[in-house]
Amino acid sequence: MSPEGEPRDPMRWLFRAAMLVLGAVVTLNIAIAFLDPILPWIIGGGLIGAAVYAVVVYRRWRDQG
């Protein structure tokens, strides 16, 4: 029994789950469409950040020894 006192309906649960998945897919599609023009800049910034981090770690390791 559900909290409201009515029996559980598996079709209603399945419909809600399907709507949740559909909403997630639509939202992800919209997010990808908005990020598509700036994705190369995001990837480039991440690569530059990783390179700077690697240089800093290397310099600290060299100065320590």
* Token pair of 15 as six digits: 């419909």
9, 16 contact by CB (below 8 A):
no
Q: How far apart are CA 47 and CA 53, in angstroms?
A: 10
Q: Choose between 7 and 23: higher pLDDT.
A: 23
What does the pLDDT look like over 11-36, one tens digit per residue? 999 999 999 999 999 999 999 999 99
Percent of the chain residues topping a pLDDT of 70: 89
Domain edges within the chain: 10-64
